[in-house]
Amino acid sequence: MSRLDRSLIAGLPVFQGMTPADLDRVLQQARSLRIAKDQTVFEQEGDAHSFFLLLDGHVRVVKTTPDGQQVIVRYISPGELMGIAHALGRTTYPASAVAAVDCVVLAWPGNLWPDLAGSFPSFATGTYKTVGTRLQEAQARVVELATEQVEQRVAHALLRLVKQTGRKTEEGILIDFPISRQDIAEMTGTTLHTVSRLLTAWEEKGLVKSGRQKVTVVEPHRLFALAEGRADKG
């Protein structure tokens, strides 16, 4: 197997503070994998055999509820860790990860986690910071589901994706990976019909433009007002 170049991870937040020799050691046990669109990276409640770093592409994290409903928990962007069950004290994955587009990931054996965390304190700190941030996001989502109208939840979801992956175009800010109306419904605890109705209404008002697995936010400030429960004045 060819040696992985340290430039793949140098400069990423979770590896900040590491020397070139440290980075080389971290990469010694890593494998580079290509994951095709819609292929599962790991499955909910499956054995946490590996943890991963996304180098290229986007991955959606999906939680299946006891009654069989699927909820999209979040999207992973390049440079983020995923499958870090061992950092949560788990031996199984709490959710599934599915490639939203063709992806490239680095994978490490899960049993290496204690060694890497103990040998490289900055890596452990960065990983636990990631865990903390995601827990805060999950708590915010729970509050949204409990207290907000569906229009607010959908607006908040689009704004989060714009902040995470938005790319400026002539039309506005494009969510820079394929996302369907069903995906948005699964992110916000609502139905495909409701999301379709809202996006159609927002298109008529000039807030967004949407197509097949494509959403562009045209008026982010007006969408933010809707997310905060204020009437649209456009």
Averaged confidence pLDDT in the chain: 91
pLDDT at 108 (0 to 100): 96
- pLDDT of residue 101 exceeding 80: yes
Closest CA to 75 of 206, 192, 180, 202: 180
pTM for the model: 0.85
Instruction: Report the share of the chain in percent with pLDDT over 70.
Output: 98
Q: Which amino acid is at 172?
A: G
**Section 131-143 average pLDDT:** 84
pLDDT, residue 2, reads 57
* Pair of tokens at residue 114: 């204690």
Could you tell me what percent of the chain has a pLDDT over 90?
66
Domains of the chain: 6-145 (2.60.120.10), 149-227 (1.10.10.10)
pLDDT given at position 234 = 63
pLDDT band for position 233 (cuts 50, 70, 90): low
Residue 38's pLDDT band (cuts 50, 70, 90): very high
Q: What is the pLDDT of residue 126?
A: 85
Concatenated DSSP letters of 147-183: HS-HHHHHHHHHHHHHHHHEEE-SSSEEESS---HHH
Question: What average pLDDT does the segment 5-18 reach?
Answer: 89
Characterize the bridge pairing of strands 50-56 and 173-175.
unpaired
- Examine the pLDDT at 211 and tell me if it is beyond 90: no
The residue-averaged pLDDT of 113-128 equals 88
